[in-house]
Amino acid sequence: MMSGSPLEAQNLITAAEVMAMETPPPTHRVAYGPDPLQFGHLRLPGGEGPFPVVLFVHGGCWLSEYGIGHTGSLEAAWAEAGYAVWSVEYRRVGDPAGGWPNTFLDVAAGGDHLRTLARDFPLDLDRVVAAGHSAGGSFALWLASRAHVPRESPLWSPNPLPIHGFLGLAPAADLERLHQVGICGNVIQQLLGGSPDEAPDRYAAVSPMRLPPLSVPQVVVLGEHDDTWTPIAEAWLDRVREERAEVAVEVVRAAESGHFEMIVPGTSTWPLVMGALEAVFQAVGPEGLKPQPLGDE
């Protein structure tokens, strides 16, 4: 854990500041479906591969005003470090046809599209880590849990893409509690079309609090100054420890981070994020990250 003096709240990066940051374009912008929001950003490192893959889902309170663009610098930094990054855009609350079940179907289809991408690009589908920030962290957990989605759910798939590790950046992993507190204008009610009591089958199909804890390597980064989202992740961590004590989830406490420092390369929190990603891949397989030559080297 990085040491440092506590930060004053006014010094923390805000959502508005993140949204205003310029980010580099992706290597490829690829559609995975016919809707204008069914696409992803593919970023490739230098070298020949095959590359370990980060399947990334951005956050933004599940709302239409927060799109994929604000995490471009994070994606580019991971690609520069030697990882292929497939970052999925999806229809959100406020978008036409956003919400249940299409938001989740989009994320699932985007993740599964890695199989198609691997036909044309040197991607190692035996080393895929699902990663996400905030709401995207909840989706990344769900992507790794899709084998446990009940068969009667409209989200069930007979052959979801295997996920070999999970990196959560302030993951919004307790949808029930988020509904209870009315987060982001009661967005969970709009996302799932009801409360846990009104739509129990929907929560059972998507909530990390309802699906079995993962058995893959997992690292979670939490901001010490993130008073809203850190407690949400900790509730999920408590459940994992209670129900599956044999599964170790490494928790990285970022002493100088609020909610957004962890997705901005160059902050004092960023080395912790890179270390967390490397730790997940090292745990995924004995070879860890295969170094690849950069550029023309």
The torsion region of residue 183 among left (phi > 0), alpha (psi -120 to 50) and beta comes to: beta
What is the pLDDT at residue 245? 67
Confidence of residue 210 (pLDDT cuts 50, 70, 90): very high
- Asked if pLDDT for residue 286 goes beyond 60, the answer is no
Kindly state the average pLDDT of the residues 230-240: 94
More confident position, 286 or 96: 96
Sheet holding 165-169, edge to edge: 28-31, 39-43, 84-88, 51-57, 123-133, 165-169, 218-223, 249-254
Give the integer Cα–Cα distance in Å for 234 and 130.
19
Residue 80's nearest CA partner among 54, 58, 57, 59 is 54
What is the pLDDT at residue 51? 97
pLDDT digits (tens, 9 = 90+) for 243-284: 876 777 999 999 999 999 999 999 999 999 999 999 999 999
Confidence of residue 287 (pLDDT cuts 50, 70, 90): low
Look up residue 1 and give its two tokens. Answer: 């854990």
- Asked if pLDDT for residue 291 goes beyond 70, the answer is no
Strand partners of residue 177: none
What is the pLDDT at residue 293? 30
- Asked if pLDDT for residue 289 goes beyond 70, the answer is no
- Asked if pLDDT for residue 5 goes beyond 90, the answer is no
Strand partners of residue 88: 40, 57
Average pLDDT, the chain: 92
- Those residues whose C-beta lies under 8 Å from the C-beta of residue 178, and which sit 6 or more positions away, are 172, 188, 232
To the nearest whole percent, how much of the chain has pLDDT over 90? Answer: 87
pLDDT digits (tens, 9 = 90+) for 26-67: 999 999 999 999 999 999 999 998 999 999 999 999 999 999
